Amino acid sequence: MPPVRAFFLAALIGVAGPLRAAVLREAGGLVQVRGAAEDNWRQAGKVPKKLAEGDGVRTGFNARARVEFDGGAVVEAAGNAHFSIETERLTRTAVNALFGTVRLTGSASGRKAVSVRTPTCVVRVRGERTVLKLTVAGGGNATVEVVEGAAGVEDNEGASLVLMAGQRVETDLAGLHAPTAAPTPVQARKSDFTALMRRELGFELERDAAFSAAARETRRAEAELGRALIDADGRRVRVEEFVVRPAADRLALVVMNGRAEGLSYFSWDGTFDRALPRNLEPVMAGLAGAGAATAWTVTDFATTRANGDASLLERGSGGHQVDVNGNADPLDDVAGGGSAFRTIFDRYGLYLNGTLKRGFTGVALQTYSDAAASSTNDPISGAALGAALPIVVINTTYPDAGTARRTTLESYSDGTVLTRESLWLEFGGGVAPRASLGSPDRNGEERVSFGGRTIKIVMPSDAAGATRQTP
C-alpha cells in the first residue's frame, strides 16, 4: 500500500475511533442478553460480561442491570426494561432505549458524545456531568427527566430543546411537549409506581401456558388479555394476572388492579427447595396445603400489597412442611380430620411502608405458638433495630353473619392500627353468602387499611393459594 494512502487510511480510522466494549457490570434478578446476530435471548450469567455494538439487554419483573461504557457513561435499567447498544466508540456512546425505565449518567467533556435514542426522540448529554431518567412506554411515548446537569432533546420532526436539572419533558408521535418542572420526591414515587403498573399492564411477560388444566383456552385468554371483574362495592375493576419465573426454583405471581382512582397490585415471590416443573398446576395447588407433603416446599417468600401511597410487605424464610393436624397445637387444626400439611416458616416479618412492625423467629417450628416474638432485631436479616418493636394485639372477627367477610385488626402500642379484610365475591359482583367463606373457587377482594390509606385488590380465585402463605 502506498505510504500516502496508508497515512490517510490511518487518519480516517483514528477519526472514527476503534470499537470499544461495554460491560454488563451488575445483574440482579432476571437479566437476559441477545447478541446482534442472534435471534434468541439467553441468561446474562456471570458478571462482568462484555457487550458489543448491537447487543440487547432486557430485565424481568423487579430485576435490575447496570452497564458501564468505556468513556465512563453508565446505564442503569429498572425492572421490565429493554435497551440495546447502538454505538460504543472512542468518541461516541449511543444507546437505544426501547421500553421501560433507564437511568443514564454521562459526560460530554473530552469531545465524548453520549446519547440515548427512543422511538420518538433522541437525548444528548450536555456538559461535564449529566444524570437523567428516561421512561419509554407503549407506542414509544417517552418521558425525559434531568436529575443533574443538562441534556438536549430532539424529536423526530427536528424540534429540539435543552432541559436543565429539575425539568422534564414528554414526547410522542406528535413531537415534543412543553417542558415542566420535575415532580417532588413524593410525586415521583407515585408517578414511578403508576408508570410501572401501566408498563406491567401492557408488557408481555412470559406466561405459563399450563397454569391451569381446567378451562385451558379460556384461562389463557384471560391471562393474556386481562379481565374486568366486579368488586364488593359493585365497581368494575380491570384485573391483570401474570406468572413470572425469575429462576428455576422461583415463582412470582403478580395481580394488578386498574380502577378509576388508580392502580394497585399484589405480588407473591416464592423460592422453593428444588427446581419447578414446566407445568405449574401441581405447584399452585400445593400452596394452599394438602393431605400429604407436596413435592415442592416454599423456603422463602415475599408478599407485597401496594397502591403507590401505601405498601404492606410480608417476608418469611425457613419454610418447611408440617402436618398441622398432627402437631401439639389444636388451634391450627384443619377441619375434616386426617393429615393436613401446611408450610410453616421459622422467621417472619411484617413491614408497613418499609418499617418493621412485628415478626417472630424459631428453629424448625412445628407450630407458630412456639415462635419467639421479635423485639430488638429484624427477624429476617437479624439486624439490630433502633428501638424495640411495639406490642401488638391481633383479633380476627367475622362481622357479618350473612356474608363471606373476615376482618383482622392489629392494634400496636405506638398507635398504629392495621385492618385487613378478606371478602369472597359473588360471580356477578358483591359479597358472597356466608357459606362461601374460604371457597377456593370464588374471586376474592383484600382490603388493607392503615394511616388513613387503603389498598384494595381483587384477587382471582386461582391466586388464592399464594395469599395463604402468610403465617
pLDDT exceeds 80 at position 339: yes
Q: For position 128, what pLDDT does the model report? A: 86
Contacts of 452 (CB under 8 A, 6+ apart): none
Q: Report percent pLDDT > 70 for the chain.
A: 82
Query: Residue 128 and residue 106: Cα distance in Å, rounded?
Result: 8
φ, ψ for residue 373 (rounded to 5)? -65, 140
Rounded Cα distance between 36 and 27, Å, is: 20
Instruction: Tell me which DSSP letter residue 226 carries.
Output: -
Q: Are the C-beta atoms of residues 38 and 61 closer than 8 Å to each other?
A: no
Work out the burial of residue 439: count CB atoms within 10 Å of its CB; fewer than 13 is exposed, 13-18 middle, 19 or more buried.
middle
Q: Give just the sign of the alpha carbon dihedral 199, 308, 165, 114.
A: negative
In one-letter notation, the amino acid at residue 63 is A
Rounded average pLDDT over 324-332: 89
Over residues 384-424, the pLDDT tens digits come to 999 999 999 999 999 988 899 999 999 999 999 999 999 99
Q: Indicate the residue type of 329.
A: D
Question: What three-state secondary structure class fits 218?
Answer: helix
- Per the DSSP assignment, residues forming a β-bridge with 352 are 312, 355
Q: Does the pLDDT at position 459 exceed 70?
A: yes
Question: Is it the case that residue 304 has pLDDT exceeding 60?
Answer: yes
How are beta strands 250-259 and 236-244 bridged, if at all? antiparallel
Q: What is the mean pLDDT of residues 156-163?
A: 89
Does pLDDT of 89 surpass 80?
no
Rounded to whole angstroms, how far apart are CA atoms 240 and 200?
A: 9
Q: Is 461 helix (H, G, I), strand (E, B) or coil?
A: helix
Asked if 253 and 259 count as a contact pair (C-beta separation under 8 A), the reply is no
Q: Closest Cα to residue 203, out of 80, 66, 63, 288?
A: 80
Query: What is the distance between the alpha carbons of residues 407 and 449, in angstroms, rounded to a whole number?
Result: 11
Other Cβ atoms less than 10 A from the Cβ of 360: the count is: 20
pLDDT tens for residues 37-75?
A: 787 888 888 889 999 888 999 988 778 999 998 878 899
Whether 16 shows a pLDDT value over 90: the answer reads no
pTM: 0.57
- Over 50: is that where the pLDDT of 219 sits? no
Q: Which of 2-6, 17-21, 378-382 has the lowest mean pLDDT?
A: 2-6
- 18-197 folds as Jelly Rolls (2.60.120)
> Where, residue-wise, is CATH 2.60.120.1440 in the chain?
18-197
pLDDT at 235: 86
Highest mean pLDDT among 130-134, 136-140, 176-180, 204-208 belongs to 130-134
Q: What is the end-to-end Cα distance of the chain in Å, rounded? A: 78
In eight-state DSSP terms, residue 332 is G
